[in-house]
Structure 1
Amino acid sequence: MVVYYNAKIIGYVSILVAVACTAVISTVFNLRFSTYSEIAQVGEMYLSLLGIILLPHLSIVEDTDYIHETVYPRRFRHVLSVLYRLLFTAALLWFLIMSVVMLAKLQGSEFPWLEITGGVWISAMGLGAAGLTAATFSRNIAAAYITGFLYYVLELFTKGKYTGDLYLFSLLRGQFEQGKWGMAGIIAVVLAVNLVYVWRKS
């Protein structure tokens, strides 16, 4: 019941937009016989944006739906609700990315599907976590989406000049680099900080 409620409260609009974007990407790009670099570009440049669509609002759903008065007094249950939303959305994000990757595989492409899926998923979670953090601390959804997109633009145009081994789109360099694991660790810490903040402010 709790899982169903939180899946429902996340909002159908963002989920539908993410699904629609995934369908468009699958249709617009020719995935037949894609090379590693080609599928990495589709994933890192386009599929990673799904993180900005799905994650930023998860900690302030109650604010936007005007129901925070009924849930904030229950400190532990509220932070648990945010955790459920994060887990559900992370799983959905993995599924959407994997669906495009597997479609390419079914069309004759040769590349390590798990490496591509995992790498793109980490990138998407990184963008989403940036937006989520902005939302959690500012309570402003516009600031959240802007933060996630600015992070995307920074990495897109600087190509890791300032982030080095933690370059968000490192799959574009032709392989799954160790920096991706470092990025995954940072994302986990950032999400944990968000949850602690929600718990303390509830």
Structure 2
Amino acid sequence: MDLALEKKVFYNNIKIVSFKVMVLALVYIGAIYLMINKSRLSEDTLTFIGDQLFSPLGIIMFVRASLYEREYRVSEMVYSRVYPYWRNILYRIIIISVQLFVILSIAFVPLKIFRVDFNLVNILLGSFVTSFFLGMIGMVSGYITNEVSVGTLTPFLYYFFEMFSKGKYTKDYYLFGMTIGNYVSKIRLFFIAIVLVLLVLIVIKRRV
């Protein structure tokens, strides 16, 4: 493996991934905190905020990960045999995952510093998994259809289905399991998201 080339490709993907989305995500989080009563923040409230209100961030951040070339019409240049395209997608998933974790940390860590009583690790990681899972559904459906709109709509439909059915059909795979104290569902959803990542990388490797 050419480490110099890998480093160059990794930095190039950092440039490709839009940091404007990260800024918008921070604005979104700020707007939510402006609308809530911060003097009455509890673990249940923060669990709800992280699991349901922050989770759409994953959709917004991941949906374009495999579609940048098609949007900017440079696919014929990128889909070359010189460098495996699936590695570009893998690097983007890693980069966006780090961005998402940083954003959620900015949302929750200061509250712990100001002595709000809640389990930081559980809520931070649980919120990350929910967002990551929805983001992977969006990225995969977007890649399959080559449409950002489909990639955005599909996970949102699942999001609202889970919100209104309250896990009646998905049970131990309930998207918002953290709100009912079911953290095992987060572990299961995380592994499903990883499987989705592996599947889309395999498909890309075979297609390109």
Q: Shorter-chain TM-score category?
A: over 0.9
| Cα drift, residue 29 of structure 1 | 2.6
Match of 1:72 among 79, 82, 97: 79
- Runs of 5+ unmatched residues, structure 2: 1-7
| Letter paired with 1:199 | K
Match for residue 41 of structure 1? Answer: 48
Q: Work out whether 1:16 is the aligned partner of 2:23.
A: yes
Structure 1 runs (4+) deviating above 4 angstroms are none
Please give the alpha-carbon distance, in whole angstroms, between the structure 2 residues aligned to 1:22 and 1:131. Answer: 20
* CA deviation after TM superposition for structure 1 residue 61, in Å: 1.0
1:201 matches 2:200: no
The reply to whether residue 188 of structure 1 matches residue 171 of structure 2 is no
- Describe the SS at the equivalent of 1:180: helix
Question: Equivalences for 1:88-167 in 2 at 5 Å?
Answer: 88-167=95-174
From the superposition, tell whether residues 61 and 83 of structure 1 become closer, same or farther in structure 2 (CA, over 3 Å).
Answer: same
Distance between the aligned counterparts of 1:97 and 1:10, measured in 2? 18
Q: Is the contact made by 1:33 and 1:107 (CA closer than 8 Å) also made in structure 2?
A: no
- Is the Cα contact below 8 Å between 2:105 and 2:124 reproduced in 1? yes
CA contact (8 A) 2:84 2:205 kept: no
Quote the Cα distance in structure 1 between the aligned partners of 2:85 and 2:26: 27
Q: CA deviation at 1:119?
A: 0.4
8 A Cα contact 2:126 2:183, kept in partner: no
- Cα deviation, residue 76, structure 1: 4.9
Contact 1:33 1:104 in 2 (8 A): no
Output the amino acid matched with 1:187.
Answer: A
Equivalent position amino acid for 1:61 in 2 = Y
Report the TM-score when normalising by structure 2: 0.90
Q: Give the letter for the 2:102 counterpart.
A: F
Q: Helix, strand or coil for the counterpart of 1:195?
A: helix
Q: CA deviation at 1:99?
A: 1.3
Q: Percent identity?
A: 26
When the two structures are aligned, how many residues end up with a matched partner?
Answer: 201
Instruction: Tell me how large the CA RMSD over aligned residues is.
Output: 1.6
Runs of 5+ unmatched residues, structure 1 = none
Q: Which amino acid aligns with 1:184?
A: F
Q: Structure 1 CA distance, aligned partners of 2:114 and 2:38?
A: 7
Give 1:25 shift: 2.4
- CA 119–108 in structure 1, closer or farther in 2 if over 3 Å, else same: same
